[in-house]
Amino acid sequence: MIDKRTVERLKKEAIEAGREGWYLSWALDSTPQERAEGKTVEIGRAYFETTTRRYTILDAPGHKTFVPSMISGAAQADVALLVISARQGEFEAGFDNGGQTREHATLVKTAGVSKLVVVVNKMDDPTVQWSQERFEFIKAQLSSFLRRGLFNLKDVTFIPISAYTGAHVKEVVSRDVCSWNRSPSLLSFLDGMAAPDRRIDAPFMLSVSQKHTDLGTVVVGKVESGRVYEGDTLLLMPNRATVEVVAIFDEALNELQAAYSGDNVKIRLKGIKEDEVSPGFVLCSVARPVGTTTRFHAQLAILDSKNIITSGYTAFLHVHNAAEEVKLVDLLHYLELRTGRKSKKPPQFAKTGQQVIALLETEQTICVEKFSDFPQLGRIMLRDEGKIVAIGKVRLSFPRTTGAGDEPSLLLFSSCSLPRSALLKRY
């Protein structure tokens, strides 16, 4: 999708900067910081087409400093490509303690991505030379980790490639180079995957991942459900701003008349300024606004915490494209790992390996939905000290406190076992 003139320009600029080997990555790493350090910082967006499909690329950062951006990209994806270096020492550095491979796999699963393609790259490296033994070693190591509560291995595919030479990306690698390979090329495999289910007839919802000004306020994101047409009137939550859809664009800035569930689009809005929009806001139907709250029940699985977790614990909450500081107000129940039964007495603490139901509270109002209603807006993760502490899902949300003139947000009590009088008394 990139013309030769652009490639030559990138190569020239990379040589002048003393970064000759990086010129191909500059197609998506466009900021001065990314090009100087050789690290993806923000989500790179691009697209390409095959003979059968159109794909949106969300190039997510791999460095641990920029994990929040990576989470935002994962929240918009249908399929994750986990790119692994086969070079001796590089795979080990990423997979062993302190590396990011394990966290990346956990993040994409928590974000709702069920299909994982492990792209074993640099198979042409002198330390590898398309070695089947090296490929099988990496596959065994990752499979052992992924099957431990993350992915069904039926949904994980391993494909060897050399991205630098293009081997096995579009065309199948030559048998003279790799005699043992029986997998299809990467693009052939993607073209053959079943399309995910789309909730086209559900209420419209789009979680904002980016925003900028271009002849008006433009928001960027993936349509999570429903459809939207040019000229529609929508709500931007949680500030309940009424906006009008002026124009809809795809990744190539082609203007569209409509966008449907699953599309990654840019929408120009009328009726709101750029500084009134933040990532994590949700554009939604007037007839069915997204739920907004500062308090909600969540089912949490504690993955990695060096200390016990008690009431008053604080962390950073990530839900779709929103990131807010959150406090654990109360631990309500333990959950038995096998049966899912709730304990009768509230626990005093939680630790690694346990599952609990907790009451969480944020300072700022956030947009969330019950996981059972809208999974993509109900998956959450808690991060603390640079790592994932817990993952979970929203079970019940409480309305935010309303002020004069405010309308109460959506109230979701359907899954609560306590009578209303008990709820009022307790909260």
Model confidence at 51: pLDDT above 90:
no
Model confidence at 373: pLDDT above 50:
yes
Same domain, 17 and 148: yes
Highest mean pLDDT of the ranges 84-98, 108-122, 152-166, 395-409: 152-166
The pTM of the whole model exceeds 0.75:
no
Return the minimum-mean-pLDDT range out of 47-61, 200-214, 322-336, 344-358. 47-61
Position 427 scores a pLDDT of 32
Position 404 scores a pLDDT of 33
Convert the pLDDT of each residue in 330-347 to its tens digit.
999 888 877 778 888 888
Return the minimum-mean-pLDDT range out of 131-145, 214-228, 248-262, 394-408. 394-408
Residue 406 is given by DSSP the state P
Q: Report the alpha-carbon distance of residue 377 to residue 206 in Å, rounded.
A: 10
C-beta of residue 217 within 8 angstroms of C-beta of residue 268: yes
C-beta of residue 418 within 8 angstroms of C-beta of residue 426: yes
C-beta of residue 334 within 8 angstroms of C-beta of residue 358: no
Same domain, 299 and 405: yes
Q: How many CA atoms lie within 13 A of 160 on its CB side?
A: 27
Model confidence at 425: pLDDT above 60:
no
Model confidence at 72: pLDDT above 90:
no
Q: Report the alpha-carbon distance of residue 145 to residue 141 in Å, rounded.
A: 7
If we measure between CA atoms, which residue out of 146, 89, 155 comes closest to residue 122? 89
Q: Number of structural domains, the chain?
A: 3
Position 149 scores a pLDDT of 65
Same domain, 102 and 242: no
Position 32 scores a pLDDT of 73
Position 2 scores a pLDDT of 83
If we measure between CA atoms, which residue out of 268, 275, 280 comes closest to residue 224? 280
Same domain, 180 and 33: yes
Is residue 371 a part of any domain in this protein?
yes
Is residue 198 a part of any domain in this protein?
no
Return the minimum-mean-pLDDT range out of 73-77, 128-132, 151-155, 393-397. 73-77
Q: Which residue has the tokens 């690329």?
A: 57
Same domain, 136 and 14: yes
Pick the last residue of a domain from 192, 218, 245. 192
Helices (H), 111-150: 132-146
For position 77, which CATH number holds?
3.40.50.300
Same domain, 324 and 375: yes
Is residue 200 a part of any domain in this protein?
no
Return the minimum-mean-pLDDT range out of 15-24, 174-183, 410-419. 410-419
Same domain, 308 and 376: yes
Domain extent at residue 164: 4-192
Is residue 314 a part of any domain in this protein?
yes
Pick the last residue of a domain from 266, 285, 304. 285
Same domain, 33 and 143: yes
Is residue 38 a part of any domain in this protein?
yes
Per-residue pLDDT band for 94 (boundaries 50, 70, 90) equals confident
Identify the residue with better confidence: 403 or 4. 4
Identify the residue with better confidence: 349 or 72. 349
272 Cβ contact partners less than 8 Å away, ≥ 6 residues apart: 217, 236, 241, 243
Per-residue pLDDT band for 185 (boundaries 50, 70, 90) equals very high
Model confidence at 248: pLDDT above 90:
yes
Model confidence at 39: pLDDT above 60:
yes
Q: If you average pLDDT over every residue of the chain, what do you get?
A: 83
Pick the last residue of a domain from 168, 192, 216. 192
Return the minimum-mean-pLDDT range out of 126-140, 198-212, 317-331, 393-407. 393-407
Structure tokens at 324: 């807010």
Same domain, 164 and 138: yes
Same domain, 413 and 297: yes
Same domain, 354 and 236: no
Is residue 199 a part of any domain in this protein?
no
Model confidence at 273: pLDDT above 50:
yes
Q: What is the mean pLDDT of residues 248-272?
A: 89
Is residue 132 a part of any domain in this protein?
yes
For position 236, which CATH number holds?
2.40.30.10
Same domain, 97 and 221: no
Is residue 197 a part of any domain in this protein?
no
Position 262 scores a pLDDT of 85
37 Cβ contact partners less than 8 Å away, ≥ 6 residues apart: none
